[in-house]
Structure 1
Amino acid sequence: MTIGEKIRDIRIKRGLTQSDLGGDLVTPSMISQIEADRAKPSYPLLMELANRLGMPVEYFMNEMDDQFLFNAKLTIAMYQSAVGDAEDALEQLESVQAAPEQGLTHQEYILTLAQTYRKLGRYHEATSRLEHLREVAYRTQDQRLLFYVCKESGYVEAGLSNVDGAVHEWSRAIEMGQVLLQSDLMTNMDLIVLMTEVMLQLHETTAAHPDRFPHAPNYLQEARALTAGTPDLRAVCDKLVEEALACIATDPARSKVLADKANTMFTFSRLVEHIVVVQTRLVDSGDNDVADPWQQAALAMTSIYPDMFLKTECEQLEKLLRSGKIDAAEARAKQARNVLLALSAHHSEHDLLDITLRLDVIDAQLTVIHGNREAGIAQLKRLVDDYPAAASAEHLTRACALLVLWYGEIGETASVLHYCRRMEQLMVTDPADTPLFI
């Protein structure tokens, strides 16, 4: 018997209602979820329920030991998958013994597995898991689960170069998110983070295909409105504590989780502030080997997902180049390289590969702008010849387009034709529309 089945069996034998058992501890709804194995009680909550049922807590512990081990592995895999260590995450997930076949933990396991498969490029396996969860979500009218499924499915469709499919799934996720914001099914802070992530993806995708999405909403404005109440870490901590206080009487277990999150984030923010103070005082004392303290603070906040930050930096660099603001572009390119160097201590070369290649193309453009076309061509030729198979074809296509332009300017027709053919091959093998910033 599962924990939930044992609790239900003993409660009925004792003649207690779900309300009697929950009392002032948790709601009858929470007892119902525990008995249906849709939620697992924490150890302190299980001890209290065992006391009320007149049973030793050890009666439940064999399964609890297994459940704690499973939850630990799943939580570690969630983190590994989220930060991009997909192979380690899959190893952790595959080492799980007797994963639950239903309930909330089952959903989290399948969702993490789907996300991990997607990050490994195993889209078919990711899709089959997500479609299973979509069925469950529609059958149970679970809007929370449907939100997660649509969000993750958007990434799968994007990975398969199905732009319309990605925008459709992400748009559905935003619709579900708006509904969830009015409920208590998810922590508001978690939902705001996830919805903002989806809005940024929608903005990037629709902006890259204006002809296909001429009436797309202003997702950046929507994201700004959504995050307006959380401009800094202190505000985030305050929001979490506010939510913890709101549910402390009805769901103390959830309240504790929220308060723990607030305390963890608060501790981290204090550490970052201390680092800034130390760095600032070292600079003031004449230590020239210390990096700019505010840049260190920015790195501390962006090192988990550096790709979004550096991608935005590259977009700004390319705009500066197109508008002829060369000095500003050079200064920004140098800063981006410094950030990339700092992040390389905590991220693999593979994680930062696309950004590195994009900056390499920009560096070649700056070289040519300064009058050394030959050196710029040599840079891009090396990049094209040694282009990694694991990298996005976008930067390779852009490099070939620039080589066509520069060889054309010096009248080397054979080289122009060679790189034109290379671009044609890339466009046949990569159906995604690739914007060329020349």
Structure 2
Amino acid sequence: MSTSSLGQRIRELRLRKGMTQIELAKGICTASMISQIESDRARPSYKMLVGLANRLEVALEHLLKEVDLEMEYTSKYKLAMGMMRAKEYGTAVSLLESLLQVEQHRIAKENLMLELVRCHLGLGNVEEAESGLNLLHQMVNNGVDDHLLVLVLLYLGKVGMLKSEFQIALYHTNRAWDELRKQEEIDPDVQAKILLQLAALHETIGKAAEAVKYYEEALLLNQGKGEDRGRTYLRLAELCDRAKRFELAEEYAGKACRLFEEGANQEDRQEVQRRLILLQRESGDWQGSLQKLLKMAEQYEQDGCKSKAGEVYADTALLCLEHGEYDGAWVYADKARMGLQDTSHVVGHVHRVFSSVYFHRKDEQRGMRHLENAANIFEQHGKVAEFEKVMLEICRFLSGRGEDREAFEGMERLHRFLMGQLQTRGIIL
């Protein structure tokens, strides 16, 4: 045992006493922390070491005997972890790569590689992340480290999502779920992450009922950061709103609001408030919702956030349009247009508003032009529901004017787009 790392020694002593990670951790730390210590992914504090030594019934000196704590390498590793928490992924990559080039330390190579993958994902380097995960999968797909295998599969699923390879993403995420359930001691944090990823995937491929189920299961497990729980409740609220389950949507939205008020930063709070206002617009007091949105847009303008202000003005324009206030819709759509970048998909909604106003004024030529602009933008951004709605409006208009051939071509365009989206999402008909 003289050449083992601190984590390996703790694991050997625990197994020798027939203890589980939960039993060893009780009153000292979490079982998840024990798992990380034993795999040398985390270093215990002195107080924690004393508690573990007492629980294992060994002298602290015996626990540390001939164990090289490698202060230089450990410090570099901790610095990399701190950089990752601060989202300074570029600096963390340099530190982790330098540790991977050294063989003298006892930090597990697999753990360094996994942290490097997380950095690449944070930087948007999907190909580098995938390459690292494939190497890791070959290294851990042998039953030696089941905990690490679950994480590798989870991140492979994440890569699949980022590449829009949704069936591959589902395959890896489901495998992560299956592997996790085989373990005697299930880490609830990892379990919640898998459930949230499954929820997001099912939402993306249009399986809303399954997505709601996974989100609800994740919330039962995830007692962590209020902001994370708030975002999950908000996703549930939006799914229920889409399904016309307005009472349940409002309940989830209220829970999201309370959680964000407790702990989120100002930017998060504003974004959540905006989405909550839109979710609650069915309550009847739409003018009250309008005033709240206008106040928010003005605040964004004062803060110099032109694009955010543009998005909120687009919301106000759509709200006015829903209630037949065409003059107000025009004014706010114009304000949105001035704040938004041309590449934003929200510009498509602005064109929709302009189109409706022009049609209301009997200016069909300009109305049609803006409708086509909206269709082009939604198609470019892959916005399925929005593109379908606009194309159906175009086809109905053309058919009403007796332009059946053009209407048929529009339906063919919509069909090609929908089939392409289904194939992209891994659904072959």
TM range (shorter): 0.5 to 0.7
> 1:157-168 counterparts in 2 under 5 A?
157-168=160-171
Q: Counterpart of 2:83 in structure 1: which amino acid? A: K
1:356 paired residue among 346, 353, 359 = 346
Partner of 2:46: 44
Shift of 1:72: 1.4
Residue 69, structure 1, aligned to residue 79, structure 2: yes
User: Does structure 1 conserve the Cα–Cα contact (< 8 Å) formed by 2:198 and 2:211?
Assistant: no
Three-state SS of the structure 1 residue aligned to 2:41 is coil
Partner of 1:202: 202
User: Does structure 1 conserve the Cα–Cα contact (< 8 Å) formed by 2:153 and 2:175?
Assistant: yes
User: Does structure 1 conserve the Cα–Cα contact (< 8 Å) formed by 2:6 and 2:69?
Assistant: no
User: Does structure 2 conserve the Cα–Cα contact (< 8 Å) formed by 1:133 and 1:145?
Assistant: no
Q: Distance in 2 between matches of 1:33 and 1:69?
A: 17
> 1:6-405 counterparts in 2 under 5 A?
38-44=40-46, 52=61, 60-77=70-87, 89-90=89-90, 92-94=92-94, 96-100=96-100, 102-103=108-109, 105-113=111-119, 115-116=121-122, 120=124, 123-179=126-182, 183-184=184-185, 186=187, 188-189=188-189, 191-207=191-207, 218-228=210-220, 236=223, 297=258, 300=261, 356=346, 359-360=349-350, 363=353, 374=364, 376-383=367-374, 387=377, 391-392=381-382, 394=384, 399-400=390-391, 402-405=393-396
Q: Counterpart of 1:130 in structure 2: which amino acid? A: L
Instruction: Specify whether residues 130 and 373 from structure 1 end up closer, same or farther in structure 2 by C-alpha distance, changes over 3 A only.
Output: farther
Q: Counterpart of 2:82 in structure 1: which amino acid? A: A
Q: Distance in 2 between matches of 1:416 and 1:308?
A: 40
Instruction: Specify whether residues 190 and 159 from structure 1 end up closer, same or farther in structure 2 by C-alpha distance, changes over 3 A only.
Output: closer
Partner of 1:280: none
Instruction: Specify whether residues 129 and 102 from structure 1 end up closer, same or farther in structure 2 by C-alpha distance, changes over 3 A only.
Output: same
Q: Distance in 2 between matches of 1:369 and 1:206?
A: 32
Q: Distance in 2 between matches of 1:171 and 1:405?
A: 42
Q: Counterpart of 1:221 in structure 2: which amino acid? A: K
Shift of 1:189: 4.4
Q: Counterpart of 2:118 in structure 1: which amino acid? A: T
Q: Distance in 2 between matches of 1:330 and 1:148?
A: 48
Shift of 1:69: 1.6
Three-state SS of the structure 1 residue aligned to 2:42 is coil
Q: Structure 2, unaligned stretches of length 5 or more?
A: 18-23, 54-58, 101-106, 231-253, 312-342
Partner of 2:397: 406
Instruction: Specify whether residues 61 and 295 from structure 1 end up closer, same or farther in structure 2 by C-alpha distance, changes over 3 A only.
Output: closer
User: Does structure 1 conserve the Cα–Cα contact (< 8 Å) formed by 2:173 and 2:194?
Assistant: no
* Count of residues in Structure 1 that have an aligned counterpart in Structure 2: 336
Q: Distance in 2 between matches of 1:389 and 1:110?
A: 35
Using structure 1 for the length normalisation, give the TM-score.
0.51
Q: Counterpart of 1:201 in structure 2: which amino acid? A: L
User: Does structure 2 conserve the Cα–Cα contact (< 8 Å) formed by 1:143 and 1:176?
Assistant: yes
Shift of 1:131: 1.6
Shift of 1:184: 3.5
Three-state SS of the structure 2 residue aligned to 1:99 is helix
Shift of 1:98: 1.4
Question: What CA RMSD, in Å, does the superposition of the two structures yield over aligned residues?
Answer: 6.1
Q: Counterpart of 1:205 in structure 2: which amino acid? A: I
Q: Deviations over 1:204-257 (max 9, x none)?
A: 42528xxxxxxxx84523543453477xxxxx3xxx7xxxxxxxxxxxxxxxxx
Q: Structure 1, unaligned stretches of length 5 or more?
A: 78-87, 209-216, 231-235, 241-260, 270-292
Comparing 39-48 with 362-371, greater Cα deviation is found at 362-371
Q: Distance in 2 between matches of 1:103 and 1:154?
A: 22
Using structure 2 for the length normalisation, give the TM-score.
0.52
Q: Counterpart of 1:52 in structure 2: which amino acid? A: E
User: Does structure 1 conserve the Cα–Cα contact (< 8 Å) formed by 2:375 and 2:387?
Assistant: yes
Q: Distance in 1 between matches of 2:305 and 2:150?
A: 29
Q: Distance in 2 between matches of 1:223 and 1:432?
A: 25
Q: Distance in 2 between matches of 1:4 and 1:40?
A: 19
User: Does structure 1 conserve the Cα–Cα contact (< 8 Å) formed by 2:398 and 2:407?
Assistant: yes
Q: Counterpart of 1:192 in structure 2: which amino acid? A: A
Shift of 1:112: 0.5
Query: Could you tell me the percent identity over the aligned residues?
Result: 11
Q: Distance in 1 between matches of 2:47 and 2:410?
A: 67
Q: Counterpart of 2:346 in structure 1: which amino acid? A: T
Q: Distance in 1 between matches of 2:273 and 2:191?
A: 21
User: Does structure 1 conserve the Cα–Cα contact (< 8 Å) formed by 2:141 and 2:149?
Assistant: yes
User: Does structure 2 conserve the Cα–Cα contact (< 8 Å) formed by 1:73 and 1:96?
Assistant: no
Q: Deviations over 1:61-88 (max 9, x none)?
A: 32332222222123333xxxxxxxxxx6
